[in-house]
Chain A
């Protein structure tokens, strides 16, 4: 009986021993396979840190060759899921994590660098559970540059253009006669003002919906000066609703000056120019209302317009006004062409003041513009031929 108990006891011990060995083996095996799952991805290589060129300083560009375990990796278990960029101010010092990129990236801009401080960088490839780090890059310092060399061709082109404009202005000053082709829309200004006078109705001048920081608004205000001169001469009623306060002030000054130059300061009244609202469609609604109520004989739509262009022009057309439009917004030009009697297309808006005033200095500047056109035409033709025949790509000149 006792023996039987002894035998059973030995079997139990053997069972326990076996269980321990089995569990231990299992543990060893699982830790081994676990190690296989957390194998880190291969580190990125060729890490280079350089001062970011053509900037105001404060930035270092870090580039690297991505890990072989990045996008397209063969082994899914240690695939790179992103990179961390590490930075230190000492060679062997502690590195801090600066930022993170997605997988596939090979560039990072450290935009938090101080000018003149030497920085050391490492790039860390992040795997599913572990990571690997590159060797540190040669240290780099950020500094500000005096010239943005990417813009050298822009500078050259602008210089040639500016010099040719100045040259032709001087030519015009010295009395040389310059030809300017007839612009129908501007020839019609007198007709429009005359018509309004005859009919005893108002003339509305809409200087676009942009502020004085737009060249188109400046051009519109300049044309207003010429139109106002005519309305003063013809004693026509001029009204200018504006959508910007500064434009209101400029228009007032311009009209006041034009009326005084035309010898009719008595006809000028501050209320000829008034402000409506900055809101695009609020302004459109208000101007449309004015058109419908006042039924103007002539409407000038000059300056920067957007979606409101057709709404204004169609209403003007509906009330039977003679309409002269002008804008440098290519998307709005078809609407003006369809709904107005005359349209100044793009550059004609900027040429209008020279055309109307016939000031030789201003006409000279238009001639200078032609030089710019020749330069562009030359590069368009030569560039197209070069690309077509696979000789050379000239497009870098205009980047």
Chain B
């Protein structure tokens, strides 16, 4: 029973949503909204589960003085700081001028932007390591990468402005992006779409059941 019930729910909801895609007539048109609402309600309740788990795991780390337990103290402090400030300010806690907004603007925003900025450094180190002309394919990839990297910035124009129009780095970049790149993207996307159809069907038919626990 424990296994059959979730599988039955999956099958019923899945097939219902497929039917809804082709039938716009009421009440079918509302069922997608209904199921989505249910998902969000369940996910919202599950956040509590996640939060409690977060606090429990980190409390355990502090209690047992595990490696990096100080970070867990920061987690506890940050969690309660934001929750208390948010509740204290009530409705409109995210409006400019509130303490919550201040914390968002002066703490969350720079931290978030910092993490994203790391990407610039990692792109450099990963491309230094990965872009080696080891074989024919890698060489083509390397040349395309150099063209696109230079063609996407104004330096590309200065490097190739002496060439006739249509043969400059910018034009070559546009061509690479419009044709070989898009063709490859399309092939991958079609493969993915078919993979999703096949996987979804396996889930709906109850063949793929690991996600609902049990082989």
- Which residue of A is nearest B200, CB measured? A215
Tell me if A117 counts as interface (CB < 8 A to partner B): no
CA distance A347 to B22 in the complex (A): 26
Contact A218 B25 (CB under 8 A): no
Q: Mark A211-243, 1 if CB is under 8 A from B, else 0.
A: 111010011011011100000000000000000
B interface, over-half SS: helix
A interface, over-half SS: helix
- Which residue of B is nearest A371, CB measured? B194
Q: Which residues of A contact B39 (CB under 8 A)?
A: 213
Q: From residue 68 to 115 of chain B, which have CB atoms closer than 8 A to chain A? A: 68, 71, 111-112, 115
Tell me if A310 counts as interface (CB < 8 A to partner B): yes
Contact B54 A275 (CB under 8 A): yes
Tell me if B23 counts as interface (CB < 8 A to partner A): yes
Q: Which residues of B contact A279 (CB under 8 A)?
A: 112
Q: Which residues of B contact A95 (CB under 8 A)?
A: none
How many interface contacts (CB-CB < 8 Å) are there between A and B? 199
Contact A257 B211 (CB under 8 A): no
CA distance A215 to B29 in the complex (A): 23
Q: Which residues of B contact A308 (CB under 8 A)?
A: 115
Contact among B23, B125, B199 for A218, CB-based, below 8 A = B199
Tell me if B130 counts as interface (CB < 8 A to partner A): yes
Tell me if A158 counts as interface (CB < 8 A to partner B): yes
Size category of the A interface is: 35 or more
Contact A365 B207 (CB under 8 A): yes
Q: Which residues of B contact A213 (CB under 8 A)?
A: 39
Contact A285 B115 (CB under 8 A): yes
- A residues with CB within 8 A of B: 54-57, 144-148, 151, 155, 158, 161-162, 165-166, 169, 211-213, 215, 218-219, 221-222, 224-226, 244-246, 248-250, 253-254, 256-258, 261, 271, 274-279, 281-282, 284-285, 289, 293-294, 307-308, 310-311, 313-314, 317, 328, 330, 333, 335, 337-339, 345-347, 349-351, 353, 357, 359, 361-362, 365-366, 368-369, 372-373, 376
Q: 5 A-B Cβ contacts within 8 A?
A: A219-B199, A245-B49, A328-B192, A335-B126, A339-B122
For the complex of A and B, 5 pairs with smallest distance between CB atoms: A245-B50, A347-B195, A350-B195, A253-B213, A281-B115
